[in-house]
Structure 1
């Protein structure tokens, strides 16, 4: 089974999501006959479930399970998942949350449960004691936990309505445990897996400290997503403590990696090391912003100025998660990353993030945005789209050679 083709599919979803992003960013500059909210739904679902989910599950299958005996079972899960993704792709942009899009998104949740069951049932006994598997296992359970949010949405819409605070809390619950639990912890698990393969075993006490602080931090920091309702100060403290614990955990892990800096340069090539460094900086920035949001003034700021929230989510998705996927897909030879395509993606990412946060700061401090802002944002988004198309075309050519 050629898993490189599965990554082609995942990357194809990313290209489509990036195209939707360019369309959305062009909405203010051109008259486009679309329903903006419907395309937002299509953009977010295909990005998270098409690109990230498919990329991560393909990596997990390759590294922990891949063998001839499981190919047929895995292929069934793969094609059933594609059915749900294509279904969402052709329904969300045209009808938003409606009967058929809800059916396909529900089927996707069932497909993800199927993969979790398949992975945990067939994991080889030799992998169970490893530190990397412990991280991956918890990441998969966070993905399952996050799905409580979508299940609750239907009930809330039919009882309390979309204007209820519980509607928004359900969405934030899903996003928090998707981003911080499933995606980030899975990538950290893959990082630990690479270290283990190169004989860099984390001492038991060090890993135990990392493992417990990161997981308690993930659980506690969810309350940062509730601060927009201005709850009791107790929840601010819990959320802030969760953010601090995540910072402690990442410091423990990266100090261990940095201790073998020379070995790290033997593990990753020059481009990969630059990506590792970039991800480290972006992850530190993400954690800093998360910690700052525990303070009431900044919590209110994040809740009232949506550009800050959008910028933070894109920082995590495009910066930490997508670059992390690029790193490991290239490392395990499922994707051939070039300096040019990654540089173009990085420039597009930096420009879009800068412009999004600039608009948020303008709203915060009360000054106007410059003329041509929306056109500039669309062009910056176009760079990301072009970089991904270049990467997909180059990957296809590489497989043909």
Structure 2
């Protein structure tokens, strides 16, 4: 597959990101302007297009570019790609208007099936020169977690029919899906692509250190799922397992940092690429600290009671760690340029909205009350994010 195809696929992924950001903006202005739409339906559309349109399309494109034998897999990959787009457009045209209903469920089910086809295609077409790549090992594990995460949506239908949407199992199925999407599939795929970049520069990844990292990271992924169950006030053993998972992820983070810190300068990155990597590392560390906090019963109860903390954490992971890592890769591989004129719009919007979301949660927790105009400020701050993404798209259109 030619470089131009990769660029067009990543532009499509960024277009989905813009659409998801605009839907998020509509949700922010909903109470202010009295907009006439079903709020919950648009939330479904926003989350599906963000996760499956932006991140999934970007990651699968980058994984194909990095690890697969291009000539042999090109035609089949294009068919998989365009079938995936058909399911995404179907979800975009159904979820915001009908929520979970017949056609939206059909399209989301077809998406799951074609994602399995992608995994099979990936496994069958790995370029043999990368068969011992440590980055590939992470990428393969990430794809396994992606399939594991899909057990959540499959279970939802049965839970709704038998126990109903008010059951704790309904919420747990959603948390299962989100956990293994964010912490398993997305972050491990990002690490895999970064290690690919590292290996392409001929930089060393000590076998022992990598083994410690890989084992502890995977244990962390599995056991931190128990963090998503603590709102049910389970037996003490669940807190212990969740704590073990959070500590394992912290140790894995330390192992990864130990592997790269002395040779990082050899990557010869631009100032913006260096900034992006530093931001991803900083926000990844904040994410891990928040996980450690929620192991404590007081904080796990607080996170469940005040939804803004959960939303802020999810946005930190999605808009911060994952999206900025993708910005780095797209710019590094010169397939989609992130400019110093477009990124500040996105970053300032991200920082302001995170601060306001967490402030709202803290205010509710401490009983402070919300300051006048907080909702309007949140909405206008959110506007900066789609503006930044739109500028990125316009500048890249000009380059092609």
Structure 2: tracts of 5 or more residues without a match = none
Deviations 1:241-297 (A, max 9, x none): 101111111111112211224324x2x221101111111100000000011000000
Listed as ranges, the matches of 1:338-353 within 5 Å are: 338-353=339-354
Q: CA deviation at 1:71?
A: 1.5
Q: Matches of 2:116 and 2:175 in 1, distance apart? A: 20
User: Counterpart of 2:88?
Assistant: 85
Q: Matches of 1:75 and 1:197 in 2, distance apart? A: 26
Deviations 1:1-33 (A, max 9, x none): 421111111110000000001100011211101
Q: Matches of 2:127 and 2:339 in 1, distance apart? A: 34
User: Counterpart of 1:50?
Assistant: 53
Structure 1: tracts of 5 or more residues without a match = none
Deviations 1:125-172 (A, max 9, x none): 221211001000000000000000000000000110000010000000
TM-score normalised to the size of structure 1? 0.98
User: Counterpart of 2:288?
Assistant: 287
Q: Matches of 1:136 and 1:114 in 2, distance apart? A: 16
User: Counterpart of 1:304?
Assistant: 305
2:34 is aligned with 1:20: no
Q: Matches of 1:276 and 1:184 in 2, distance apart? A: 14
User: Counterpart of 2:372?
Assistant: 371
User: Counterpart of 2:387?
Assistant: 386
The answer to whether the Cα contact below 8 Å between 2:69 and 2:126 also exists between their aligned partners in 1 is: no
How many residues align? The count is 397
Cα-Cα RMSD: 0.8
Q: Matches of 2:31 and 2:254 in 1, distance apart? A: 42
2:279 is aligned with 1:254: no
Match of 1:242 among 222, 242, 245: 245
Deviations 1:165-213 (A, max 9, x none): 1000000000000000000011011111111011112111010000000
Listed as ranges, the matches of 1:92-241 within 5 Å are: 92-241=95-244
Q: Matches of 2:272 and 2:130 in 1, distance apart? A: 29
Deviations 1:351-393 (A, max 9, x none): 0000000000000000111111111111111000100011111
User: Counterpart of 2:331?
Assistant: 330
User: Counterpart of 1:72?
Assistant: 75
TM-score normalised to the size of structure 2? 0.98
Which of the pair has the greater relative contact order for Cα pairs under 8 Å at 6+ separation?
A: 1
Q: CA deviation at 1:66?
A: 5.0
Q: Matches of 1:354 and 1:81 in 2, distance apart? A: 35
The answer to whether the Cα contact below 8 Å between 2:69 and 2:127 also exists between their aligned partners in 1 is: no
Q: Matches of 2:270 and 2:208 in 1, distance apart? A: 29
Q: Matches of 1:35 and 1:273 in 2, distance apart? A: 42
Q: Matches of 2:104 and 2:119 in 1, distance apart? A: 23
